[in-house]
Structure 1
Amino acid sequence: MSAKPFASSGDLTAKEQTLEVLADGVYALTAEGDPNVGAIEGEDFLVCFEALATPVAAREWLARLREHTDKPIKYLVLSHYHAVRVLGASAFEAEEIIAHDNTRALVAERGKEDWESEFGRMPRLFTEPDSIPGLTWPTLTFSDRLTIPLGGNRGDLELLHCGRGHTEGDIVAWLPQQKILFAGDLVEAQAALYTGDAFHREWSSSTLDAVAALEAEALIGGRGAVAGGRAAVDAAIGQTRHFLDVMIREVGAVQQRGGTLKEAFDAAHAALVDQYGQWPIFEHCLPFDVSRLWDELSGIERPVIWTGERDREVWDRLQS
């Protein structure tokens, strides 16, 4: 038996949601370390960012949003393919569901397995799971950049692929006129990283360099509070980079001396826990993070597909 409840299965406490208006027509909903979502008003339409884990959960967010705007939802933007970000998409009734080319391929390759995995890890996020009609399929994809003119004096919304990171299909939503960035899970603000599908070395270097080069003045990460002001934005990017760099250093050192995966996990945990151990989902994520990084440093280019069975095997091996 595991000494700790599996992943986030023991986290049954409801989180307080905070809706912030970051600029005229720019909204962010944060929830004490649960997945963040957002919305941007065009002149006569809405762009929503992320979909939450079920249609029922998404409708609760949309009810909050409808207190501020009744514009129709034209676009739903998905930062990547993970189930807790996408399976609520049907509630939005968007004209187009936008994601990266690689995200669509990942849904086809491993979307069903990821759904099973994330439901087992984080059951509280799946409010009324029977409301999910099936996998979420993007209807519009792109490789590098897609521009959405917002109309009037609202400027443009730029959807950008900054490189591989949290997954191989991450995108960010950038408002250059307002200098506001929806970063998805490429950046977390005072929340631990999940890197089980990551490309750690690229993420910690060129991908985060590209995110930082935007010079955002407000940043909404995948989890955690909104980072307001350049100092807070830089701190969030720096925390994300530091978490990755420490993991790469510790796991790499154990691997180079011929150690075991369990020794690598223990070393990474010891190096990170004092700074990050009290942040949301740290204990949940780290076994999966270290397992993927071990594979990556061993030359396994693409992440192995997570399943419910594999999740439990890794958890019992590293976290028991």
Structure 2
Amino acid sequence: MARKSFASSADLGEKVRTLEVLADGVYALTAEGDPNIGAVEGEDFLVCFEALATPVAAREWLAELRKYTDKPVRYLVLSHYHAVRVLGASAFDAEVIVAHENTRALVAERGKQDWESEFGRMPRLAKGADSVPGLTWPTLTFSDRLTIDLGGDRGDLVLEYCGRGHTEGDLVAWLPRQKILFAGDLVEAEAALYTGDAFHREWATSTLDRVQAFGAEQLIGGRGAVSSGQDAVNAAIEQTRHFLDVMIREVGAAQQAGGTLKDAFTRTHAALVDRYGHWPIFEHCLPFDVSRLWDELSGIERPVIWTAARDRAVWDQLQD
């Protein structure tokens, strides 16, 4: 059997991008399992959600958005710290870059290592990598909730922290009037989860419970298509929860049986592959997912920092 290419290093084909107008002045760009991105119009400004991996990639998104609006970007909201979500920030010329306070701390603690790690794992997303001027630093942070008045009759955009999940600093963006939720990587719609920096048990329970409690009628997850209608929204949330629950069950069983990390990976892969194996980045993510969950269930509270060297070591250890 041929050895699997490292992470997404062999995934070099361009993805079809789809820009959807979800409501008046509410936009989402999806791309066949690549990171999603969005924007919300205020009366005389824009709030953009996520920044992509490089300024070159971000400018391509902005060129699409500018077909609909020429309002300046006042706020750039970052759902969490991962490089492919934040390093394109300079292209937006935003007045304010908003993130959770934990995200700012994570940039300081591990942002440089994550940059090198993620660009090595997903080189196709790092289009124009030399255009990144440096780490992206939030200029406004909050702990629980931050409300942005969109002006006129546009209502509010509510940024909220639902608890630890995909990272310890994930936030969501909620439009209560339109019942639209930008969930970041706390929810994926028919795309595999990356959990290498996660808090699996909290994510699968209280954090997703809070996400579901919004009662969204449209949800834009971190990857995958927009979920439209409450049934589709709930299905995306429950798919995310199921993926986590199966991982927790299988890795926990391997540990209880006195198995190894490789045993845990084999069990987890077998339990998930039939349902999720055809979804984007499944094979890429799972070795890193299992490694983090193994640590978490072993009592290592916070994720070990991923580096390019550690990525390769874990990958090699868990592949046949």
Structures share a fold, TM > 0.5? yes
What is the 5 A alignment of 1:104-253?
104-253=104-253
TM-score, normalised to structure 2, is 0.99
Partner of 1:40: 40
TM-score, normalised to structure 1, is 0.99
What is the alpha-carbon distance in structure 1 between the residues aligned to residue 286 and residue 123 of structure 2? 18
What is the alpha-carbon distance in structure 2 between the residues aligned to residue 19 and residue 165 of structure 1? 27
Partner of 2:294: 294
What is the 5 A alignment of 1:78-93?
78-93=78-93
1:238-294 deviation per Cα after TM superposition (whole angstroms, max 9, x unaligned): 000000000000000010111000000000000000000000000000000000000
What is the alpha-carbon distance in structure 2 between the residues aligned to residue 312 and residue 141 of structure 1? 33
What is the alpha-carbon distance in structure 2 between the residues aligned to residue 123 and residue 242 of structure 1? 29
Q: Which amino acid aligns with 1:155?
A: G
Partner of 2:98: 98
Unaligned segments of structure 1, at least 5 residues: none
Partner of 1:14: 14
Conserved 8 A contact 1:158-1:173: yes
Shift of 1:319: 2.0
Is structure 2 residue 271 aligned with structure 1 residue 271? Answer: yes
What is the alpha-carbon distance in structure 1 between the residues aligned to residue 316 and residue 14 of structure 2? 27
Conserved 8 A contact 1:2-1:316: no
What is the alpha-carbon distance in structure 2 between the residues aligned to residue 297 and residue 153 of structure 1? 48
Q: Which amino acid aligns with 1:304?
A: V
> What SS does the aligned partner of 1:119 have?
helix
Aligned pair in 2 of structure 1 residues 2, 255: CA closer, same or farther (>3 Å)?
A: farther
Shift of 1:2: 7.9
> What SS does the aligned partner of 1:293 have?
helix
> What SS does the aligned partner of 2:224 have?
coil
The number of residue pairs the alignment matches comes to 320
What is the alpha-carbon distance in structure 1 between the residues aligned to residue 235 and residue 40 of structure 2? 24
Q: Which amino acid aligns with 1:206?
A: S
Shift of 1:131: 0.2
> What SS does the aligned partner of 2:35 have?
strand
Partner of 1:24: 24
Q: Which amino acid aligns with 2:109?
A: E
What is the alpha-carbon distance in structure 2 between the residues aligned to residue 53 and residue 213 of structure 1? 31
Partner of 1:285: 285
Partner of 2:318: 318
Shift of 1:152: 1.1
What is the alpha-carbon distance in structure 1 between the residues aligned to residue 280 and residue 148 of structure 2? 33
What is the alpha-carbon distance in structure 2 between the residues aligned to residue 12 and residue 57 of structure 1? 15
What is the alpha-carbon distance in structure 1 between the residues aligned to residue 293 and residue 99 of structure 2? 25
What is the alpha-carbon distance in structure 2 between the residues aligned to residue 314 and residue 220 of structure 1? 31
The two structures, once aligned, show a CA RMSD in angstroms of 0.9
What is the alpha-carbon distance in structure 2 between the residues aligned to residue 211 and residue 105 of structure 1? 23
What is the alpha-carbon distance in structure 2 between the residues aligned to residue 318 and residue 213 of structure 1? 37
Shift of 1:169: 0.1
Is structure 2 residue 269 aligned with structure 1 residue 256? Answer: no
The 4+ residue runs of structure 1 with deviation greater than 6 A are none
> What SS does the aligned partner of 2:38 have?
strand
Q: Which amino acid aligns with 2:48?
A: C
Conserved 8 A contact 1:174-1:182: yes
- Same amino acid, percent of matched pairs: 82
Shift of 1:142: 0.3
> What SS does the aligned partner of 1:248 have?
helix
Partner of 2:5: 5
What is the alpha-carbon distance in structure 2 between the residues aligned to residue 244 and residue 319 of structure 1? 21
> What SS does the aligned partner of 2:148 have?
strand
Conserved 8 A contact 1:180-1:216: yes
1:212-253 deviation per Cα after TM superposition (whole angstroms, max 9, x unaligned): 000000000000000000000000000000000000000000
